[in-house]
Structure 1
């Protein structure tokens, strides 16, 4: 039996919660500092969603070449790039141009990234800003060996064409090279989960999912919790997290099997989660969940994973949830069941229009 379960048995839920709150109060001055950097249109949209949540200890940074998009952003930090290249316009899907713009602005980017423990880099792939600038932002963030760099990226719909997917694959590989962990979400998975939802609302679901990942991680670290996840726990799971994915579910504490089944069906990336080398499970529930219910939930979610895999669990009690439970599970170093990571498959002609930008 692990130390944390023994502590729960000996102290009881209420005493453990009180101890956690006192601990968090004593160490509030050492709060984990988190930066969310949204790059390009999709990344900045998610930052706008996060801005309404007023997350404790989280700074929001919007990075874009599009001046109008940046002016509308709710981020508390903004960085307009590429003024001399595109004059406040978009990169028109050209990732080489996006990369060039980022590399010419290294100093400004680095100034925005200083002083953070965790840096999330958000980007939609297949375009020039998210796919070109995003990996450079991750690269600069990772230069600080003490920081954890987690990139959360979305792949385009296959219906958007092979060229766009090829560009996305190339950008994805660069994110892998420059991040501790890359959480990959496929827009095509929305077709399985909400096939009949209007397009705008479907995209909002992906936007809110990314926001929820960050929301849950930030609150698990910086809010009083019954079972606390700290920065060291995150580092252990995600420092070498590689390809990762997230699953999300909601249900009742008396229906754990159904909750787990629904959670594992809500895949936003075509992976086998049982191949994961690590799992970070955050549970938010009311005051009525028992120890056996919690144990069943965690065991069912991680069933099939190697017994030597790293697992971290955080639990936070919210009185108004009563018998409801929300679970967010991040699985790291997972095996992808779809496309390979062969960058050589990306055709050079996909980027043949670079000369048109610099005649």
Structure 2
């Protein structure tokens, strides 16, 4: 039992940072000493950028195509570079149990290469999650168009993806925030989400959430959310939960219809039973869907920077109206099916978070259709348009 509590050595999680933003993120994970727990890989067309980070495993893609000078902000070049180096990418991830792609969309390498990496994961039957950022509005419509096309390209091969809007993050930080501070905050969001996910999946807890639980929850169709909250004492644990459920940067409707939820409690020291039960009960009070599958987890980590950290993942949420101003959007396709007998028991529900995430799947939504969507062909469904595209349209109308 003691050996089990030290972690699951057979589970290999690979985080692939693609392009400038993605490489910066995996470099932050390396600096936070996660390289001993997960396989960190930096992928770029820019040799100078690769040489500037400390991640040990680096892959220069498209060397013959770009000569190591980058993709020139052209996603087509990024894709061709990944094609040229496809065998290198395949060999780097082929032994992984879960692959998490992180990239900034809107440029060349991250936008163009990420869909091919997701496709390789699909071919290798590796569950894959992508966490990507959208460009700032000030970066221009062209980069936003590239980003939206990248999301459209990745939605078929990927199992689930999360998009973070830098503009909505900027609105939350205020107009006076510095440029570097804004980018650092965006990277901090990515880092906190990835660290919490990796820790949950890679460490065996006293109440354990494993890879199959993770796959099951993300396989539910509908809107999804992911959030992280922190507290400096156990007495403030409910504040951490509220951070995870009520991110002011996130707006999501009808979360009470969630079909699946993961509630993961990280503690520096042993929590009170009343705290554990109280947190789950607090989530239950927010849920009207009594058939929801809730998977609780508890991990003791004396090295936590805060006394309490809470990770919330939820999916299968039905929305009756268009969600406005989401910071994150997760498009989902079903993951590898998990036998019914392996589904964990429990019940709970969620909301939003301090570094929150909102998500949509391909299940039909009850969004309203206005003149801005009149370009949809008569034979196409509204859900043929990526959810993030519809939501950004809604934001632009505000």
Give your verdict on TM over 0.5.
yes
The structure that is helix-richer by fraction is 1
- The structure-2 alpha-carbon separation of the partners of 1:36 and 1:286, relative to structure 1 and needing over 3 Å to count, comes to closer
Q: Give the CA deviation at 1:45.
A: 0.3
Q: After superposition, give the CA deviation of every residue in 1:17-54 in whole Å (9 maximum; x if it has no partner).
A: xx5x44335x75x4310111000000000010011223
Q: After superposition, give the CA deviation of every residue in 1:281-329 in whole Å (9 maximum; x if it has no partner).
A: 2211243632232233234346236333332222122457799421122
Matched with 2:310 is 327
1:261 aligns with 2:242: yes
Provide structure 1 residue ranges, at least 5 long, that are not aligned to the other structure. 1-18, 347-359
Does structure 1 conserve the Cα–Cα contact (< 8 Å) formed by 2:230 and 2:306? Answer: no
Q: Give the CA deviation at 1:182.
A: 0.7
Matched with 2:21 is 42
* Candidates 68, 74, 78, aligned match of 1:94: 74
Does structure 1 conserve the Cα–Cα contact (< 8 Å) formed by 2:263 and 2:297? Answer: yes
1:312 aligns with 2:298: no
Matched with 1:138 is 118
Q: Give the CA deviation at 1:66.
A: 0.4
SS of alignment partner, residue 178 of structure 1:
coil
- The structure-2 alpha-carbon separation of the partners of 1:288 and 1:109, relative to structure 1 and needing over 3 Å to count, comes to closer
Q: After superposition, give the CA deviation of every residue in 1:72-101 in whole Å (9 maximum; x if it has no partner).
A: 222221111122222211212211221222
Q: Give the CA deviation at 1:244.
A: 4.4
Matched with 1:150 is 129
SS of alignment partner, residue 77 of structure 2:
helix
1:67 aligns with 2:39: no
1:232 aligns with 2:275: no
Provide structure 2 residue ranges, at least 5 long, that are not aligned to the other structure. 326-382, 390-398
SS of alignment partner, residue 173 of structure 1:
helix
1:342 aligns with 2:382: no
- The structure-2 alpha-carbon separation of the partners of 1:127 and 1:50, relative to structure 1 and needing over 3 Å to count, comes to same
Equivalent residue pairs, number: 324
* Alignment partners' CA distance in 2, 1:280 and 1:344: 23
Please give the TM-score of this superposition, normalised by the length of structure 2.
0.72
> What's the Cα RMSD here?
3.0
Q: Give the CA deviation at 1:122.
A: 0.6
* Alignment partners' CA distance in 2, 1:253 and 1:325: 6
1:282 aligns with 2:264: yes
Does structure 2 conserve the Cα–Cα contact (< 8 Å) formed by 1:182 and 1:243? Answer: no
Matched with 1:199 is 179
Correspondence 1:48-127 to 2 at 5 A: 48-55=27-34, 56-127=36-107
Does structure 2 conserve the Cα–Cα contact (< 8 Å) formed by 1:65 and 1:90? Answer: yes
* Alignment partners' CA distance in 2, 1:306 and 1:70: 48
Matched with 2:360 is none
Q: Give the CA deviation at 1:112.
A: 1.2
1:24 aligns with 2:5: yes
Q: After superposition, give the CA deviation of every residue in 1:188-229 in whole Å (9 maximum; x if it has no partner).
A: 232243224322122222212222222222222333422112
Does structure 2 conserve the Cα–Cα contact (< 8 Å) formed by 1:121 and 1:134? Answer: yes
Does structure 2 conserve the Cα–Cα contact (< 8 Å) formed by 1:181 and 1:244? Answer: no
* Candidates 255, 264, 275, aligned match of 1:293: 275
